Amino acid sequence: NAGVTQTPKFRILKIGQSMTLQCTQDMNHNYMYWYRQDPGMGLKLIYYSVGAGITDKGEVPNGYNVSRSTTEDFPLRLELAAPSQTSVYFCASSSSFSGANVLTFGAGSRLTVL
Amino acid sequence: TQLLEQSPQFLSIQEGENLTVYCNSSSVFSSLQWYRQEPGEGPVLLVTVVTGGEVKKLKRLTFQFGDARKDSSLHITAAQPGDTGLYLCAGVRNTGNQFYFGTGTSLTVIP
């Protein structure tokens, strides 16, 4: 089982550039999430989705966009990258049907904006 | 503002010592989870506690959910170098699959 797969693992961007972080899961989970992790700050929720075609903002959505056209994929778009977006980004998924409410995380994408 | 505060933020101990990590909030959660994260990887679930006052044991790890379901603790007995990592608590709300993470505790166990 691949679980949650994120690409790329590392990326360096210049200020003002745009990019998309890819996330795909093969567990047929209906919920998907994007978090960012900064030192000493735990995980902050950027966006989440309860199913294909439905997305909603989390705690820190500014500067990001998402889409959920399929159950499997949940890409995160950064427009006009800023140094404040330097972070490690984690995609995660869970199922509301299993009753377990457990998050399965990807391995993370480390983004540096210079 | 952080919904869940963890303490301590950093902990460095010798192998064989005991330790406790705390996760506190003013909010009530339907359940609380503990995750462990190793460098370069995503967090992995250790345990979920659901009932107020619940205690769960996982080998040398003991997890407790507060009676009011606002706080939790993780106690490790006879710590080993393999316990080194970042420990994160996460509160789950009744409104759905909403997870609120704590600030994290970075544990280093020195051989």
| pLDDT tens digits along A25-67 | 999 999 999 999 997 778 999 999 999 999 999 989 999 999 9
pLDDT of residue A95: 84
How long is chain B? 111
What whole-number distance in Å separates Cα of residue A98 and Cα of residue A86?
34
Q: Does A45 touch chain B (CB under 8 A)?
A: yes
Nearest to A105 among B2, B4, B42 (CB): B42
Residue of A nearest to B40 (CA): A107
pLDDT at A72 over 90: yes
Interface of B with A (CB under 8 A): 2, 4, 6, 9, 31, 33, 35, 40-45, 48, 88, 90, 92, 96-104
Which pLDDT tens digit goes with each residue over A87-103?
Answer: 999 999 998 776 667 89
Q: Which residues of chain A have a CB within 8 Å of the CB of B44?
A: 105
Distance between CA atoms of residues A31 and A93, nearest Å? 5
Q: Which residue of B has its CA nearest to A49?
A: B97
Most A CBs within 10 A among B6, B99, B100, B103, hence the mutation to make, goes to: B99
Contact state of B101 with A35 under an 8 Å Cβ cutoff: yes
The set of residues, in sequence order, having a beta carbon less than 8 Å from that of A8 and lying 6+ positions away, is A21, A22, A109
- Whether a cis peptide bond, with omega within 30° of 0, leads into A75 is no
Q: How far apart are CA A63 and CA B47, in angstroms?
A: 34
- Confidence check: pLDDT of A5 > 80: yes
- Each residue's pLDDT, cut to its tens digit, for chain B (111 residues) gives 568 999 999 999 999 999 999 999 999 998 899 999 998 899 999 999 989 999 999 999 999 999 999 999 999 999 999 999 999 999 988 666 788 899 899 999 999
Cα distances (Å, whole numbers) of residue A35 to A64, B32, B42, B51, B93: 11, 18, 11, 27, 17
pLDDT in the model for residue A86: 96
How much is the pLDDT for B97? 75
Can you give the pLDDT at residue A2? 78
Determine the pLDDT at residue B3: 81
In this prediction, residue B2 carries a pLDDT of 67
Q: What is the pLDDT of residue A1?
A: 64
| Per-residue model confidence (pLDDT) at position B94 | 66
- Contact call for A106 and B97, based on CB within 8 A: no
Check pLDDT > 80 for residue A70. Answer: yes
CA–CA min distance A12, chain B (Å): 17
Coil, helix or strand for B110?
strand
